[in-house]
Amino acid sequence: MSTPRQLAARRQLLRRLGLITPSMLVLAVFLVAPLAIMLLVSFLQPGDYGGVKWGQYSAEAYINFLYERDLDDSLVFNTDYLGIFQRSLGLAVMTTLGCLLIGFPTALYLALQSEKKRNLLLFLVTVPFWTNLLVRVYAWILLLRNGGLIDSGLGLIGLGDGALGILYSDAAVMIGLLYTFLPFMVLPIYTSLEKLDWRLVEAAFDLGANRFQALKRIILPLALPGMLAGTTLVFIPALGNYIIPELLGGGKALMIGNLVQLQFGSAHNWPLGSALAFALFSLVLLALLFNGLRQRRSTEVRI
């Protein structure tokens, strides 16, 4: 016979399970299952016209990622895919740094405004979300192309010669990524700056810190959680971005996302696409792990 205490504990356990189950089911169906399918696909042989040959297992996709099979079937180290990974990583890091550099002053400016003005400005930051990303990227094409608005504008003041040469380059992809992800950096930094007790800054001034010292010693450290959140929100989607390099890179400046799309599309190599996606996934996991460890460390000191 169970004691009343044991019964109560069991009832509570059941209640908890009942509450957790729906979200667990959603995760299982929409996250774990697709990942498992992808993992399976990455270890299969590619079908002749897309799809896979079920039941024919091979690690070929992962070998393909690093090596090329020569005519005599020997493996030769090939850095083509790694190069694209490196470019993606570089562009994502640059985008994140750029967003930090532009986003922090913007967020600081926002946080220092009066409440009324602040709400208007915050609304303006979110205005781009009201238009489809595709439309906005096409607008950038109009701006950046040779003879486009920027080019002809520069021509008017005698600086351009009608051959700006930015569109379909890494620079254009960079501009597009920066533009797309800037709000995701501004908003979290703004949130942490808005919570900041400005009397602390006053106290720093009072103790002889000039504006730069107050920024470095008080405002930046206290805005760090927002900057870390913003970094995660920008870096991860920028790393796997597909649409910006597709449209502004013109298929020349490929990123991982385009490569994956290519394998599932015209290259008819689903296993390689899946393997590439898993490589991207592990990069993202590494970034998250790094961020998580940093945050743990900063909270550890706090306690």
Partner 1 sequence: MSSAISIESLSMEYGTPGSGHKALDDVSLEIRDNEFFTLLGPSGCGKTTLLRLIAGFEQPSAGIIRLYGEPMQDLPPFRRPVNTVFQSYALFPHMTVAQNIGFGLEMQGKPKAEIAATVERMLALVKLPHVAERRADQLSGGQQQRIALARALASRPKVLLLDESLSALDMKLRKDMQIELKRLQAETGITFIFVTHDQEEALTMSDRIAVMSQGRILQVGSPTEIYEAPVNRTVADFIGETNFLAADAFASGVRLADGQLLSVVSPTPGPVTLAIRPERISLQDSGDLQGEVEEVVYIGTDTLYLLKVAGQSGFRVRQQNRLGAAQPLKRGDAVRIDVPSAAIRVLAE
For the CB of residue 223, give the shortest distance to partner 1 in the complex, in Å.
11
Residue nearer to partner 1 on the CB measure, 70 or 206? 206
For the CB of residue 113, give the shortest distance to partner 1 in the complex, in Å.
18
Residue nearer to partner 1 on the CB measure, 86 or 213? 213
Q: Report the candidate in 39, 74, 94, 45 with the shortest Cα–Cα distance to residue 275.
A: 39
| Total number of residues that touch partner 1 (CB under 8 A) | 19
135/258 Cα distance (integer angstroms): 19
Sign, CA dihedral 212-213-214-219, equals: positive
**Residue pair 164/144 in contact by the 8 Å Cβ criterion:** yes
- Binding segment toward partner 1, per CB under 8 A, in 15-23, 72-80, 171-179, 215-223: 215-223
CB count in 10 Å sphere of residue 287 = 18
**Residues 282-301, interacting with partner 1 (CB under 8 A):** 301
46 bridge partner residues: 52
Up-side HSE of residue 110: CA atoms within 13 Å toward CB?
Answer: 27
209 sits near partner 1 (criterion: CB under 8 A):
yes
Question: Using the rule CB under 8 A, which residue among 218, 227, 228, 253 binds partner 1?
Answer: 218
204 sits near partner 1 (criterion: CB under 8 A):
yes
- Binding segment toward partner 1, per CB under 8 A, in 103-111, 139-147, 205-213, 275-283: 205-213
Question: Using the rule CB under 8 A, which residue among 31, 200, 286, 289 binds partner 1?
Answer: 200
- Please state the φ and ψ torsions of residue 45, each to the nearest 5 degrees: -85, 145
Give residue 191's identity as a one-letter amino acid code. Answer: T
Residue nearer to partner 1 on the CB measure, 25 or 200? 200
- Binding segment toward partner 1, per CB under 8 A, in 6-14, 82-90, 196-204, 235-243: 196-204
Question: Using the rule CB under 8 A, which residue among 5, 208, 266, 296 binds partner 1?
Answer: 208
Question: Using the rule CB under 8 A, which residue among 86, 113, 131, 210 binds partner 1?
Answer: 210
Angle at Cα 26 formed by Cα 23 and Cα 28, nearest 5°? 110
For the CB of residue 229, give the shortest distance to partner 1 in the complex, in Å.
17
What DSSP string runs through 176-213? Answer: HHHHHHHHHHHHHHHHHHHHS-HHHHHHHHHTT--HHH
207 sits near partner 1 (criterion: CB under 8 A):
yes
Give residue 83's identity as a one-letter amino acid code. Answer: G
CA-to-CA separations, 198 to 108, 121, 191, 209, 219, in angstroms, rounded: 12, 20, 14, 14, 9
- Binding segment toward partner 1, per CB under 8 A, in 54-62, 130-138, 155-163, 217-225: 217-225
197 sits near partner 1 (criterion: CB under 8 A):
yes
Site residues (CB under 8 A) for partner 1? 197, 199-200, 202-210, 213, 217-218, 221-222, 301-302
